[in-house]
C-alpha cells in the first residue's frame, strides 16, 4: 500500500503535457448575425491581399508528410493526425464560425512536410506543434528542437533521410526549456550514443531546472487548463478546434528527455559543431525561463528561438505559468538585431515558416522588439496614471504600424491578456481598491448577485435580451453568476454556453477560441470522464533533482490533516551520495540537504534508481524493502502515515461550474 500511495503521489509530476485526443461532443451552433458582422469587419480591417506569408510558407517544399499526415504510436493509434484538419483548405474563405485572421493563420500552418530552407538547412513543419530543423554539418546532422514526441520526431527524421544523405545525428540543440522543443529527442538519438560521446546535447544555462520546475509545482492545474487552451477535447472543424495559432495542435505520443551534455552560459559563446560555427545569445526569462538564440555566420542564418515568430506571443500563457518579462524580451531582440541584423539573410523559426532577405529580417526584429516594448511601457504608463489591470486591458491597442503586420496579430497571445500580465508582474493581483481586497469567493458572491438582481429567472430573461443584441461578454459574465449560484440551472448553462460559443467564433487568438468553446462544451455536456492522458514522463521524473522531489512532496501534503503531527526521516542515497532530512512540523514539510538527524523516526537507505522504480510504478515499495533494495531502520509505520497525508490530484476538476 505504501508503494501504491507513493506512485499515486508522484504520478502527476511532469514537465510534459501528454495530451490524449478524445472524441468530443458534437459541434455547437451557427454564427449569430453579430458574429458574422464582427468577422466580416476583420476582412476589411486587415491586408488580406498580402500573400507574402503564403509564398514563404510554400518555399522550398520537397515532400508532404507520409500517410496523409497520420503518425501512429506504439499501439497503432495516431499520435498525430493532420488529416483531421483537412477542412482548412487553401484559398477557401473563412467559415462564419471562424475569425478570418485566425483562419488565414491556420491555412498557413497547413503547409506541412519537408522543406529546404537554404543550403544545408532543412525543416519538417506541422508534424507537431513545433518545427524540427536539420542542419547538415561536414559529416553528420545537427537536429534543432526535436518536437514533443518520439514518434513525430522519428517520422520527421525518416522523411528527411528519404530525401537527403543518411548521415548520423551528431548533435541536438534545445533552444529552450518547453516540452515541444526537446520531448522527441529519443526519436532522433539514443542515450547510449550520448553517453558514448557520439552525440552532443546542447542547451541554454538553467535548462534542466526550468524544464523540470515550470510544470511541477502546479502541474496538475496547468494540465487541466491546457486541455482548454489547446482544445484537446474539441472536435476539429469550423465549429470546433481550428489550430492553436502557434501550431496545428499538440502531438500525443511519448515525451522524453536526455539531459544536456553542453551548456551555453553567455552571449557570444561560440561552438564549432561538425565543421559549422555556431554563435549563441543567452536570452533567459523571455518566452521561456531558459532560452537562447543562435547564428550560423558561414550560412548567414539566424535562429531567434521562439522570441520572433509569426504571432504576438504570450507574456502570460492561459494554461498558467510564471509571467514573462516583456522588457527583457524586447531588449534581447534589440541585442540580436545589433549582433546579427546586418549579417543574416535567412531567419529560421522554431514555429511557423522562415523569412528570407536581410532587410525583411531587420524589419521583423525591429517591429517585434517594439511590439513587446510598447506593451510593457504603455501598461506601466497607464498604471502610473492610476488605471487598473482590467481598465488597461481595454485601453491599449497596438499602433497601426504594428497592428497591420500579420506577425503582430494575437494568434497565440493577445494584447488584452499580455498587458494584464505586465501589470501583474509589477503590481500583482490587487488593484488598490479596498473593495477588491477581500471579495467573497465565487459561489457565495454569485448567490448574492442573483438575489440582488431579482432571482435566476429574471436574470436569465434580461440576459437573453443582451444576447440578442450581441453583447456576449456581458451575457457570459452574468450567466456565470447564475451557474455558480445554481449549477443545475439548465437554462443558465445553455445561455452561457451560447454566449461563450459566439465569443469563440469571433476570437482571433487560437487559445481564446479554444477556451471559449471548451467552456461551452463542458456547460452542455459536463466534464469528460474518459482518461485525459498522462502527465508523467519517466525521463523527466528520473532527471528530477531530489530537492525538487521533496519540494513537491510538500505541495502534496494535506496541511489540515497533518495538524498536530510531527515526524522526521533520514534519506540516504548510496549511489548519488546525497543525504536529506525530511521533517514534518507545524503542518509543513521541509528538507535539508547533506544532513542526517539523530532523532529521526526512520532512516531510509536506497539508491536513486530504486526510488525511480517506485515513483514510476515499476515496483512496490514493500517489494523493494523485502528484496533489500530499500532499507528502513526505525518506524516504518511513521513512513506509511506520512504518505497517507498526501493528496492525490484529480485532473478533471470543474472550471466553468463550481
Read off the pLDDT of residues 417-442 as tens digits, 9 standing for 90 and up. 999 999 999 999 999 999 999 999 99
Q: What is the pLDDT of residues 635-657, one digit of tens each?
A: 999 998 998 999 988 888 999 99
Instruction: Give kind and range of the element (H or E) at residue 433.
Output: none
- The CA distance from 16 to 656, in Å, is 24
> Among 589, 604, 466, which residue's Cα sits nearest to residue 9?
589
pLDDT of residue 476: 98
Q: Is the pLDDT of residue 21 over 70?
A: no
**Rounded mean pLDDT of 493-497?**
98
Strand pairing of 169-173 and 141-144?
Answer: parallel
Q: What is the pLDDT of residues 98-136, one digit of tens each?
A: 999 999 999 999 999 999 999 999 999 999 999 999 999
pLDDT of residue 649: 86
pLDDT of residue 160: 98
pLDDT of residue 23: 45
pLDDT of residue 531: 55
> Among 656, 653, 657, 658, which residue's Cα sits nearest to residue 218?
653
pLDDT of residue 15: 41
Instruction: Give kind and range of the element (H or E) at residue 340.
Output: helix 326-340
Q: Is the pLDDT of residue 594 over 60?
A: yes
Domains and CATH numbers, the chain: 2-9+537-644 (3.30.1050.10), 17-376 (3.60.15.30), 439-508 (1.25.40.880)
**Rounded mean pLDDT of 384-413?**
98
Looking at 11-25, 158-172, 356-370, 617-631, which range is the least confident one?
Answer: 11-25
Determine how many CB atoms are found less than 10 A away from the CB of residue 335. Answer: 16
Angle between helices 2-10 and 546-556 (to 10 degrees): 100
- The CA distance from 581 to 571, in Å, is 6
**Rounded mean pLDDT of 50-63?**
98
**Rounded mean pLDDT of 354-375?**
98
**Rounded mean pLDDT of 201-226?**
89
Q: What is the pLDDT of residues 126-151, one digit of tens each?
A: 999 999 999 999 999 999 999 999 99
Asked if residues 97 and 239 have their Cβ atoms less than 8 Å apart, the reply is: yes
Residue 172 backbone class (left: φ over 0; alpha: ψ -120 to 50; beta: rest) = beta
Could you give the C-alpha distances from 156 to 16, 62, 66, 161, 490, in angstroms and in order? Answer: 20, 13, 10, 9, 47
Q: What is the pLDDT of residues 543-559, one digit of tens each?
A: 889 998 899 899 999 99
Asked if residues 657 and 16 have their Cβ atoms less than 8 Å apart, the reply is: no
pLDDT band at 8 (very low <50, low <70, confident <90, very high): very low
**Rounded mean pLDDT of 450-459?**
97
Q: Is the pLDDT of residue 13 over 80?
A: no
The pTM for the full model equals 0.94
**Pairs from 464-471 (Cβ < 8 Å, separation ≥ 24):** 464/495, 467/495, 467/498, 467/499, 469/34, 470/32, 470/33, 470/34, 470/35, 470/38, 470/502
**Rounded mean pLDDT of 193-219?**
92
C-alpha 469: how far from chain center = 36
Could you give the C-alpha distances from 128 to 79, 112, 142, 648, 657, in angstroms and in order? Answer: 9, 10, 19, 31, 32
Instruction: Give kind and range of the element (H or E) at residue 546.
Output: helix 546-556
- The CA distance from 405 to 392, in Å, is 22
pLDDT of residue 621: 82
Average pLDDT in the chain: 93
pLDDT of residue 25: 54
Amino acid at each position: 500500500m505504501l508503494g501504491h500511495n507513493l506512485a499515486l503521489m508522484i504520478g502527476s509530476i511532469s514537465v510534459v503535457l501528454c495530451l490524449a485526443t478524445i472524441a468530443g461532443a458534437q459541434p455547437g451552433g451557427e454564427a449569430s448575425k453579430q458574429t458574422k458582422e464582427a468577422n466580416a469587419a476583420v476582412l476589411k480591417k486587415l491586408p488580406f491581399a498580402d500573400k507574402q506569408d503564403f509564398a514563404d510558407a510554400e518555399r522550398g517544399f520537397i515532400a508532404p508528410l507520409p500517410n496523409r499526415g497520420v503518425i501512429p504510436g506504439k499501439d497503432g493509434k495516431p499520435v498525430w493526425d493532420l488529416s483531421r484538419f483537412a477542412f482548412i483548405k487553401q484559398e477557401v474563405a473563412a467559415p462564419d464560425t471562424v475569425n478570418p485572421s485566425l483562419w488565414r493563420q491556420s491555412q498557413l500552418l497547413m503547409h506541412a512536410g519537408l522543406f529546404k530552407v537554404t543550403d544545408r538547412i532543412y525543416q519538417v513543419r506541422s508534424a507537431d506543434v513545433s518545427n524540427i530543423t536539420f542542419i547538415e554539418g561536414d559529416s553528420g546532422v545537427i537536429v534543432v528542437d526535436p518536437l514533443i514526441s518520439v514518434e513525430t520526431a522519428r517520422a520527421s527524421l525518416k522523411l528527411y533521410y528519404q530525401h537527403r544523405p543518411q548521415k548520423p545525428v551528431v548533435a541536438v540543440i534545445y533552444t529552450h526549456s518547453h516540452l515541444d522543443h526537446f520531448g522527441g529527442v529519443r526519436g532522433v538519438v539514443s542515450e547510449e550514443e550520448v553517453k558514448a560521446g557520439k552525440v552532443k546535447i546542447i542547451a541554454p544555462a538553467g535548462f534542466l531546472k526550468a524544464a523540470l520546475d515550470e510544470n511541477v509545482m502546479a502541474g496538475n492545474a496547468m494540465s487541466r487548463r491546457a486541455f482548454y487552451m489547446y482544445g484537446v477535447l474539441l472536435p476539429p472543424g469550423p465549429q470546433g478546434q481550428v489550430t492553436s495559432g502557434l501550431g496545428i495542435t499538440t502531438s500525443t505520443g511519448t515525451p522524453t528527455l536526455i539531459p544536456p551534455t553542453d551548456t551555453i552560459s553567455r552571449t557570444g559563446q561560440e561552438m564549432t559543431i561538425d565543421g559549422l560555427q555556431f554563435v549563441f545569445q543567452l536570452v533567459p526569462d523571455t518566452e521561456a525561463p531558459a532560452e537562447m538564440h543562435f547564428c550560423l555566420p558561414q550560412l548567414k542564418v539566424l535562429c531567434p528561438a521562439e522570441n520572433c515568430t509569426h504571432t504576438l506571443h504570450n507574456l502570460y500563457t492561459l494554461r498558467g505559468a510564471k509571467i514573462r518579462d516583456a522588457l527583457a524580451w524586447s531588449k534581447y531582440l534589440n541585442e540580436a538585431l545589433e549582433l546579427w541584423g546586418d549579417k543574416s539573410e535567412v531567419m529560421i523559426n522554431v514555429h511557423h515558416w522562415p523569412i528570407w532577405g536581410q532587410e525583411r529580417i531587420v524589419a521583423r526584429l525591429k517591429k517585434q522588439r517594439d511590439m513587446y516594448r510598447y506593451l510593457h511601457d504603455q501598461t506601466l504608463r497607464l498604471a502610473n496614471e492610476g488605471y487598473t489591470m482590467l481598465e488597461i486591458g481595454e485601453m491599449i491597442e497596438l499602433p497601426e504600424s504594428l497592428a497591420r503586420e500579420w506577425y503582430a496579430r494575437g494568434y497565440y497571445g493577445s494584447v488584452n491578456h499580455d498587458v494584464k500580465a505586465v501589470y501583474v508582474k509589477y503590481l500583482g493581483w490587487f488593484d488598490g481598491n479596498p473593495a477588491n481586497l477581500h471579495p467573497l469567493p465565487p459561489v457565495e458572491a454569485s448567490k448574492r448577485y442573483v438575489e440582488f438582481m431579482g432571482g435566476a429567472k429574471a436574470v436569465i430573461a434580461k440576459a437573453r435580451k443582451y444576447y440578442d443584441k450581441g453583447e456576449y461578454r456581458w451575457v457570459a459574465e452574468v450567466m456565470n453568476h447564475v451557474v455558480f449560484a445554481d449549477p443545475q440551472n439548465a437554462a443558465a448553462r445553455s445561455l452561457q454556453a451560447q454566449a461563450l460559443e459566439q465569443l469563440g467564433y469571433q476570437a482571433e487568438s487560437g487559445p481564446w477560441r479554444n477556451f471559449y468553446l471548451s467552456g461551452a462544451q463542458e456547460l452542455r455536456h459536463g466534464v469528460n470522464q474518459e482518461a485525459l492522458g498522462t502527465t508523467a514522463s519517466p525521463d523527466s521524473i528520473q532527471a528530477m533533482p531530489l530537492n525538487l522531489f521533496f519540494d513537491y512532496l510538500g505541495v502534496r501534503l494535506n496541511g489540515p490533516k497533518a495538524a498536530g503531527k510531527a515526524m522526521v526521516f533520514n534519506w540516504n542515497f548510496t549511489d548519488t551520495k546525497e543525504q536529506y532530512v525530511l521533517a514534518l512540523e507545524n503542518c509543513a514539510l521541509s528538507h535539508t540537504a547533506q544532513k542526517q538527524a539523530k532523532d529521526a523516526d526512520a532512516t531510509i537507505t536506497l539508491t536513486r534508481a530504486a526510488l525511480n522504480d517506485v515513483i514510476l510504478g515499476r515496483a512496490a515499495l514493500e517489494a523493494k524493502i523485502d528484496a533489500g533494495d530499500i532499507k528502513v531502520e526505525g518506524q516504518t509505520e511513521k513512513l506509511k502515515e506520512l504518505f497517507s497525508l498526501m493528496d492525490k490530484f484529480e485532473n478533471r476538476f470543474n472550471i466553468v461550474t463550481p
